[in-house]
Amino acid sequence: MSSENVLKFLSEPTTLASLAAVAAASMMYVTSRPTPLKCPVDPNEQSVEVPGEGRARRTALSEELIEHFYDNVNTLYEGFMRGVQLAGDKPCLGWRKDYDQEYQWLTYNEVDERALCFGSGLLELGVEAGPETFIGIYSQNKVEWVLAEQGCNRFSMVIIPLYDTLGPDACAFIINQARIKITVCDASKVETLLKNVDKCEDLKYIIKIGDSVTEEEQERAKEHGVEIVTFNDIEERGRKAKKEPVIPKRDSLATICYTSGTTGNPKGAMMTHANMVSEVSAIQFMLAK
């Protein structure tokens, strides 16, 4: 296009109107766009090395370890109970059977009650309250997972998650190494566990989530000295024999997180209540910035 044609095009009324509209829209965007968030730390140095801790690093937002965000929350148990106190009748745990269905909810008070019953039911199976008792959880995320966790927290017991990527042999290794007597198990995972139950020397109970226990499952388990009971049954036992909670301390062991064992057998990281609360508190601290 020649210079004359360009000038002629730019002088057309429709072209001028379009350019004016674009200019107006650009000006409106510039004047109305939200103010960019200011990074509270140097983007090139968001963490700093902790002296004397090897390669460990901490956030540059704080020179001190963030142990807790709320003064009355130093354990996972206290964290949940704070929710009960602030929002007892408000929704806590939600689930739906299918994507096109509405969520159903348990309130904080309902979760509190069911957790107490489940924890009490575990004690009815013969285990003792305290951080020397390890409870396995072999399940996808669901309401019962949280109920089991909170039930264990209520009595200072330690949870050890088991998950699919570990593989059946690794799960058996963890159950043996941690000497787990009780494992809470998704209905879909019971078969996997039963195939390896002969390798799990200390396992005594499988708590099945959801469906009732089939006769075949019970027979296969009993061949190796293991009994299968339902999650609802444990809750009901605890409801009939509620125990006084044994509250964990901040330095009490809360969970053992195992690696997938890509370089050998799985290795467990021991996490205290203080560790877990510190992690969540640090996130809250950063979001507040």
- Mean pLDDT (the chain, rounded): 87
**Three-class secondary structure of residue 256 per DSSP:** strand
In the chain, how long is the greatest CA-to-CA distance? 96
Q: What is the mean pLDDT of residues 88-94?
A: 97
pLDDT score recorded for residue 260: 72
Q: What is the mean pLDDT of residues 149-163?
A: 96
pLDDT tens digit sequence for 25-84: 666 665 666 776 677 777 777 778 877 777 777 777 777 777 778 889 999 999 999 999
Lowest mean pLDDT of 19-28, 60-69, 109-118, 170-179, name the range.
Answer: 19-28
188 vs 42, which has greater pLDDT? 188
The answer, yes or no, to whether residue 10 has pLDDT greater than 50, is no
| One CATH from 3.40.50.300, 3.40.50.150, 3.40.50.12780, 3.30.300.30 for 76-288 | 3.40.50.12780
99 vs 15, which has greater pLDDT? 99
**Three-class secondary structure of residue 210 per DSSP:** coil
User: What residue has token string 């370890």?
Assistant: 65
Tokens representing residue 164 in the block: 């699919």
The answer, yes or no, to whether residue 246 has pLDDT greater than 60, is yes
pLDDT score recorded for residue 65: 75
The answer, yes or no, to whether residue 287 has pLDDT greater than 90, is no
Residue length, the chain?
289
CA distances from 86 to 79, 127, 129, 192 (A): 11, 32, 27, 41
The answer, yes or no, to whether residue 215 has pLDDT greater than 70, is yes
Lowest mean pLDDT of 58-67, 101-110, 171-180, name the range.
Answer: 58-67
pLDDT score recorded for residue 13: 59
Q: What is the mean pLDDT of residues 209-218?
A: 91
pLDDT score recorded for residue 23: 65
> Residue 219 — pLDDT band, cuts 50, 70, 90?
very high
Of 157, 116, 149, 136, nearest to 240 (Cα)? Answer: 116
List all residues 6 or more positions away from 244 whose beta carbon is below 8 Å from its beta carbon: none
Q: What is the mean pLDDT of residues 239-267?
A: 91
The answer, yes or no, to whether residue 11 has pLDDT greater than 50, is yes
pLDDT tens digit sequence for 120-153: 999 999 999 999 999 999 999 999 999 999 999 9
